Chains A and B, each alone.
Chain A
Amino acid sequence: MGRITLDKVRKAFGEVEVIPPLDLTIEDGEFVVFVGPSGCGKSTLLRLIAGLEDVSGGQIRIDGQDATMVPPAKRGLAMVFQSYALYPHMSVRKNIAFPLRMAKLDPAEQNRRVEAAAEVLNLTDYLDRRPGQLSGGQRQRVAIGRAIVREPAAFLFDEPLSNLDAALRVGMRLEISELHKRLKTTMIYVTHDQVEAMTMADKIVVLRAGHIEQVGSPLELYREPRNTFVAGFIGSPKMNLLEGAEAEKRGATTVGIRPEHITPSATEGQWKGRVGVAEHLGSDTFFHVHVDGWPEPITVRAGGEVDMNHGDTIYLTPDEERMHRFDAQGLRIA
């Protein structure tokens, strides 16, 4: 079981309030991703849950039990750190067995659990190596192994993939998702990468300056961002946010339209512009279009085979149904 409830949790470093009182419930077995720009307090929030930082106010409950003052080791949570934090002088086997050894488990049982974890993570051949002799992805797996053997109530991941190269990151992302499907244990995952958030999460928590901007499933956040911040943060490439005449015409202060909800055409359309940069990805093409009188270029997604280049004239038609409208405070108008 791993149901975690934050009740008016607050954190201040001296005078600076990093996290204003915040409420959040994480259901058992959920994969929750905390996402936000750097410095938004997402890592601090994770460390508060882990117990590595003391809360300045409020209550943390794990499975209904008050855990606010419980030391980290007693909370039954396991954490995977950004730097992996493996013990460099111990073999992989000893690294993974360390939490069991600290718990004074029977050596035979320790061995059994380590072997099982190594099996799951494809580490069996590396058990007698040291972390220094492993690649980044393997080290990451050792760190996960060290978390798995404890059979924790919940896993905490603190930007675990940010030290890996792009190809490996995609692979590890899948492995962690698969692990979650198999173990069905609560996982809390911190990242600044919205792609990781969208692909892995059951529930995304978007944070800005310690505030929760929106909580919801990836598609909820994509379809109905609650404000302009979430609208701009979720989705890749970013949603186009337009102000001025176009917004007023639709009765809003700001309107947003995603690149994939604009139809480009060479001959006719609502807006006329000029192609700035064309990014050909093969499967898709992203055009950065300069529309006369607009301060920012607007991003448009087209099919992979659309052949238009820098300087060409392009006509754009937005899908009015999928236009997002926001008021003067940046909040969504239903």
Chain B
Amino acid sequence: MATQHSRTAARIMMTPAVFLLLVWMLVPLSMTLWFSFRRFLPLRGGDQGFVWFENYTRFISSSSFWPAVQTTLVIVGGVLLVSIVFGILLALLLDQPMWGQGVVRILVIAPFFVMPTVSALVWKNMFMDPTNGLFAHLWRAFGADPVVWLSDVPTFSIIMIVSWQWLPFATLILLTAIQSLDSEQLEAAEMDGAGPLARFGFITLPHLSRAITIVILIQTIFLLSIFAEIFVTTGGAFGTRTLTYLIYQRVLESQNVGLGSAGGVYAIILANIVALFLMRIVGKNLDR
């Protein structure tokens, strides 16, 4: 299609963008790698030279490492589960013709526009506060003892908050997928004797598999690095310390840049393992 000349021109035009992207990624990455091999304590003597893999062994042998990995996976998995199950239900609901469809759809998307810090604060103070929160009032209205959400069921609470933010994204993608389903297929299944549940299971759900895959992929990438929601609610206490949060604590609370950087490299490895798994499962789905 393109001539030699236009291809050359295209390459030259793309160079600044490619260069900027490389710098943007490579500089922080190589700095992280550099620091991870050094003993660097900003308030206790500064940069004290190479220690090579000592940071790596210390980070992984710390008693908080494996619990943090586990918490990360629990939160990511929990949010994925909630947002996909409820996302499908909401999408099915929004696909029905109803009055005020346009407004309702915008309202459903709204949580996605709220900043993570703000939404976490709203949840913490308005809903989950054990004395003044709406949930506390609701519980008391039924004569029950209010749940102290953030210390009794902290992981669950965080999953709830993060799911609330990501549900609109899942709903939106699944809704467009549902709308692209050929209605004749559903009618054919109806004539073939499939009831509503069978139609959902045999026709709609397989049709959605690709969209579900995309939701899982994109959300996982973002969910592995959630931070604000934990920072403003539990501050990493009560077993809600994820890998990201652990790294933050190592760098800023213990003032150990080298140790934190080593943690960062582990996070990169973890993300890649998860991504590899997902690509395997998902790749099969996307090929079709």
A81 within 8 A of B: yes
Query: Quick check: A83 and B184 within 8 Å, CB to CB?
Result: yes
B202 cross-chain contacts in A, Cβ below 8 A: 87, 98
Chain B interface, >50% SS class = helix
* B187: contacting residue among A81, A102, A146, CB under 8 A: A81
Binds B, one of A72-80, A313-321, A323-331: A72-80
Query: Quick check: B182 and A150 within 8 Å, CB to CB?
Result: no
Query: Quick check: A52 and B207 within 8 Å, CB to CB?
Result: no
A87 cross-chain contacts in B, Cβ below 8 A: 185, 188-189, 202-203, 206
Known contacts A87-B203, A89-B206, A89-B207; A52 and B192 CB within 8 A of each other:
no
Residue of A nearest to B288 (CB): A89
* B192: contacting residue among A51, A73, A89, CB under 8 A: A73
Query: Quick check: A79 and B191 within 8 Å, CB to CB?
Result: yes
The total number of A-B Cβ pairs within 8 Å is 56
Q: How many residues of B contact A (CB 8 A)?
A: 18
Query: Quick check: B193 and A85 within 8 Å, CB to CB?
Result: no
Query: Quick check: A77 and B192 within 8 Å, CB to CB?
Result: no
Most buried by A among B182, B188, B206, B288: B188
Known contacts A89-B206, A89-B207, A102-B198; A150 and B184 CB within 8 A of each other:
no
B194 cross-chain contacts in A, Cβ below 8 A: 73, 98, 102
Known contacts A81-B184, A83-B182; A72 and B191 CB within 8 A of each other:
yes
Residue of B nearest to A77 (CB): B191
Known contacts A87-B203, A89-B288; A73 and B184 CB within 8 A of each other:
no
B172-198 contact mask (Cβ, 8 Å, vs A): 1 or 0: 000000000010110111111110001
Give A92 to B71 CA distance when docked, in angstroms: 45
B185 cross-chain contacts in A, Cβ below 8 A: 85-87
B193 cross-chain contacts in A, Cβ below 8 A: 73, 99, 102-103
Give A81 to B189 CA distance when docked, in angstroms: 11
Interface on A for B, CB 8 Å cutoff?
A: 50-52, 71-73, 77-79, 81-83, 85-89, 98-99, 102-103, 146, 150
Sorted nearest first, the 10 A-B pairs with minimum C-beta distance are: A99-B192, A85-B188, A73-B193, A85-B184, A102-B193, A89-B206, A81-B184, A85-B185, A72-B191, A102-B194
Query: Beyond A79-B191, A85-B184: 8 further Cβ-contacts under 8 Å?
Result: A52-B190, A79-B187, A85-B185, A87-B185, A87-B188, A87-B206, A89-B206, A98-B194
